[in-house]
Structure 1
Amino acid sequence: MGILSGNPQEEPMHYGEVFSAWEYLMVANKAIADHQMLMNHVGDGDLKKLLKDAVEQAQQEAKQVSEVLTQNGVGLPPAAPEPPSVDLEDIPVGARFQDPDVAAAASAKVAAGLVACSQIMGTSIREDIVMMFGQFHMNKAALGGKFLKLTKEKGWLVPPPLHHASKSD
């Protein structure tokens, strides 16, 4: 048997897996703080709940990736401190992010996370890492669908130019 056969958790991570997981954790930590800060700016209850879901999902992912890195003797990146909660009315109108902008920014982070998960899955050789990021990918796809539905329902979606097929008789 070779070094890469048997229990995946007992196999060493390759340098790409280490860096990708470490970088993913660093970005997840930043996303947690960013979403928590954006919740201060949100007036829409549905958007606030979806942001809370995004924070909880990112926290769970960060915990899982931290465990894998720690088990493999890799130091963890620093986590951003949790921002303080403030009342929406305490943020001056000119300094406040608007709900449609918050939804768009959160959706963009989800989309970037999908790409990152796909890249990590494609370059990993440990099955447990591929499966973990595959699960993250599915969770992000579901979350992205919720953001899309919300932005459509609220009238916040700014679509690209729409193509209408010409009808020829």
Structure 2
Amino acid sequence: MGMFSSNPKEEPMHYGEVFGVWSALSVAKGQLAAYQVYYNHAGDEDLKKFIQDMVDNVIKPGIKENEDLLKRNSVGLPAAPPERSEANREDIPVGARVMDPEISATISKDISQGLVADSMLMGQCIREDIAMMYGEFHMKKAQMGAKLLKMNKEKGWLIPPPLHKQSKTNQYE
């Protein structure tokens, strides 16, 4: 098998893997700063805990693993916005505050887009270690997405699309 017969970590990354990992790292670094801002704006304690869990268990570990992978493969790292300090929510004017349902909706969107991006990169991989790493990222995001969906329902923040109700009579029978 030539260059692909050894340990996967010693195989070269192809350009699609490099671009996918580099892009994911760039997005994660932006999300870290954004989620720190969301934490400062959030009023709901469950939402604040969820944001902290996302940062500590999904975003920061993902940043570290992606950075380590790119460094081992001599790929330059993307720039990162500075991390944000904690702020008192009450110091943020009401009209300038991001509201809890908006924060939750944005994080829900981020998780769903992350699931698609992780799946796409897994499908492009020829290195098993990278595919497995993104499989783990995917699993963590799916678990967090399920938790956030439940919270959105419990808090009344979920705005569903028009619901389909089955009629008692089927006009096509």
* TM class, shorter-length: over 0.9
In the alignment, does 2:69 pair up with 1:68? yes
Counterparts of 1:10-21 in structure 2 under 5 Å?
10-21=10-21
Aligned-residue offset at 1:5: 1.7
The residue aligned with 1:24 is 24
Q: Which residue of 1 aligns with 2:88?
A: 87
Matches of 2:26 and 2:71 in 1, distance apart? 14
TM-score (norm 1): 0.97
DSSP-derived class of the 2:4 partner? coil
C-alpha displacement of 1:76: 0.6
After superposition, give the CA deviation of every residue in 1:35-81 in whole Å (9 maximum; x if it has no partner). Answer: 01111110100000000111111000010011111000101111211
Q: Say whether residues 1:98 and 2:99 are aligned partners.
A: yes
Deviation at 1:84, TM superposition (A): 2.1
* Aligned-residue offset at 1:6: 2.1
Alignment match, 2:156? 155
What stretches of structure 1 move > 3 A for 4+ residues in a row? none
Counterpart in 1 of 2:54? 54
**Residue 41 (1) aligns with residue 41 (2):** yes
Structure 2 gaps, min length 5: none
Count of residue pairs brought into register by the alignment: 169
1:132 and 1:166 map into 2 onto residues whose CA distance is 46
Residue type of the alignment partner of 1:141: A
Code of the residue aligned with 1:164 in structure 2: it is K
Question: Following the alignment from structure 2 to structure 1, what is the Cα–Cα distance between the partners of residues 167 and 134?
Answer: 42
Amino acid at match of 1:128: D
Aligned partner letter, 1:31: Q
Letter in 2 for 1:102: I
Matching residue's letter, 1:86: A
- Percent pairwise identity: 53
The aligned runs of 1:130-169 (5 Å cut-off) are 130-168=131-169
Report 1:114-129 matches (<5 A).
114-129=115-130
Normalised to the residue count of structure 2, the TM-score between the two structures is 0.95
RMSD (CA atoms): 0.9
Aligned partner of 1:107 in structure 2 is 108
Q: 1:168: Cα distance to partner?
A: 2.3
Distance 1:142 1:19 in 2: 26
